[in-house]
Amino acid sequence: MPQTELGWNETPFLQADSMSKARGSVKRVRRTKAEQRAETTEQILDAAESLFSKHGLYGVTLRDVAQKVGVHTSLLHYYFKDKTDLFESVLARRAGVTSDRRMKALERYEKEAAGKPTVEGALHAFLDTDLDLYISSGEGWKNYGKFGAQISNTPEWGGDMMVRYFDPVVLRLVKILKQALPHCAEEDIFWGYHFVTGALMLTLARTGRIDQLSGGLCKSDDFPAVRARLAKFMAAGFLSICEKKKSP
């Protein structure tokens, strides 16, 4: 569920803005209730995102989130119905951003391709647009990437969330891939996407596994290195499994 839109109430949980009492000092501009509400919501979502990305839904309590923010647990109930509502609000906050960016990138690529898209071109539009966020943005986006990896690998409820927030842009990619591979079996295209998203989620999880295996040669958070390789590698896989079989 999207996060609940609530007004700010004067509560004992957060102190009001302090006013300077020194003579001649400039008084601090008092924030509006809407600004206070927005700031507190962001603080809660940031804290929850960080914790959920490491421990998942069941490994985090509302008390954990409240302690990280530095507020009373009751305040979280004022903003969010329960932990599940908070969890999905964390997803919804950035899901719209990444899906919108990807959809626009795919639309631009489809227009530029003028009816002749390539597998690698479509994958670059889909993958690079997302990876650019993790390259250029702060730790919050990287936490969101780990958070998304948690969701995508949780059979109990993760699939439903992915359907609600990401299916339209994924199906747009599949549509372009079908144009690029007109002789490919539809099931192979869907399997190909499955392998692509699996590799992406493992990358976003930043488990440190590749760091250990490579003796430090590769780094889990080296998103530029991933961007330079992932689309090309996956395009070769698509072309391989979709190769038109010759008649005996």
72-122 pLDDT tens trace:
899 898 899 999 999 999 999 999 999 999 999 999 999 999 999 999 999
Residues 6+ apart with CB under 8 A from 110: 117, 176
Work out the number of other CB atoms within 10 angstroms of the CB of residue 103.
17
Q: What is the pLDDT of residue 24?
A: 46
Mean pLDDT of 178-204: 95
Q: 93-241 belongs to which CATH class?
A: mainly alpha
CATH number of 33-79: 1.10.10.60
Mean pLDDT of 174-197: 96
Residue spans per domain, the chain: 33-79, 93-241
Task: Tell me how far apart the alpha carbons of residues 85 and 170 are, in angstroms, rounded to a whole number.
Answer: 25
Higher pLDDT, 149 or 245: 149
- Summarised one tens digit per residue, pLDDT across range 47-77 is 999 999 999 889 999 999 999 999 989 989 8
Judged against a pLDDT cut of 70, whether residue 202 lies above it is answered with: yes
Tell me the pTM.
Answer: 0.80
What's the Cα-to-Cα distance from 126 to each of 59, 82, 92, 165, 227, rounded to whole Å?
31, 33, 19, 15, 11
Reading the block at residue 45, the tokens are 């979502």
Residue pair 231/130 in contact by the 8 Å Cβ criterion? no
Judged against a pLDDT cut of 80, whether residue 233 lies above it is answered with: yes
Higher pLDDT, 66 or 6: 66
Residues 6+ apart with CB under 8 A from 183: 242, 244
Q: What is the pLDDT of residue 29?
A: 62
Judged against a pLDDT cut of 50, whether residue 198 lies above it is answered with: yes
Percent of the chain whose predicted confidence (pLDDT) is above 70: 86
Judged against a pLDDT cut of 50, whether residue 11 lies above it is answered with: no
Q: What is the pLDDT of residue 60?
A: 94
